Amino acid sequence: MIKFYYNLAPNPLKVALFLEEAGLPYEPVPVDTRLGEQHRPEYLAINPNAKAPSIVDGETVVFDSNAILLYLAEKTGRFLPVGSTNAARGTLLSWLMFVATGIGPYSGQSVHFRHFAPDPKEYAVDRYLFEAKRHWGILDARLADRRWMMGDEYTILDMAVWGWSRMVPFVIGEGPADESVWTGLPNLKRHLGEVSARPAAQRALALKDRHAFKTEMDEKARRHMFPHTTAPSARAT
């Protein structure tokens, strides 16, 4: 059985969606980053980068959500373009890496500097907000004339996008309830709604009821999640 190390951030939920869509048996193992569990030696042995998600599949260890999606898709033969040609594989990999290197990092930094940074700098806020909006606009344009990211086929690309698109109001808006952000992203909103309506997505989201993650962003949580803000001696506490 696959061990799935997760929390409720966007990246782990992409993987939860795949596991539920494919009906793969898995054991969810919570990694509470606000308690610093990602820095424990036993977890660092699985993921030296101290992030979630990770999976252990027998003797195989995979970390990084997009790498896990690709690994599971190739392992099961599920949610890849049917009869993949080199052209289709090139498109799949290009957009998957676009999510990995663009959507995730810029959205994450936009959230950090706009909502969590103790001393946000105007330049950083403006840059990451601009880039997050630009990247989401590219995805909205991609979805303007196709139902799914690859056209008529629902694939791991849609799962990768869904992990983050649920957070768009928090990423580029004023907060989770800011629906005004969707005015300029109608195709993305439609895509989000279609994925979220799938039974597997509902089961993935239900992981939130399996473990009581710490919700307070107190000083200890900040030290665990943003260790660069503390002195080296404080990081071990």
DSSP states of 7-72? -SSHHHHHHHHHHHHHT--EEEEE--GGGTGGGSHHHHTT-TT--S-EEEETTEEEESHHHHHHHH
Using the predicted structure, report yes or no on whether residue 236 has a pLDDT greater than 60: no
CB-count burial class (<10 Å; 0-12, 13-18, 19+) for 200:
middle
At 235 the pLDDT is 43
DSSP 8-state secondary structure symbol assigned to residue 135: H
Instruction: Grade residue 145 by pLDDT with cuts at 50, 70 and 90.
Output: very high
Kind and range of the H or E run holding 200:
helix 199-205
168-197 pLDDT per residue, tens:
999 999 888 889 999 999 999 999 999 999
3-state secondary structure of 175: coil
Enter the CATH code of domain 2-79+202-235. Answer: 3.40.30.10
At 225 the pLDDT is 67
Using the predicted structure, report yes or no on whether residue 234 has a pLDDT greater than 70: no
- CATH 3.40.30.10 positions along the chain are 2-79+202-235
Instruction: Grade residue 77 by pLDDT with cuts at 50, 70 and 90.
Output: very high
Considering only the top CATH level, what class is 86-197? mainly alpha
With pLDDT > 70 as the criterion, what percentage of the chain qualifies? Answer: 94
- CATH 1.20.1050.10 positions along the chain are 86-197
How does the average pLDDT of the chain come out, rounded?
92
CA–CA separation, 183 and 168 (whole Å): 12
Strand extents, DSSP E, the chain:
2-6, 26-30, 54-57, 60-63
Two structure tokens written together for 146: 């196709």
pTM for the structure as a whole? 0.90
Using the predicted structure, report yes or no on whether residue 26 has a pLDDT greater than 70: yes
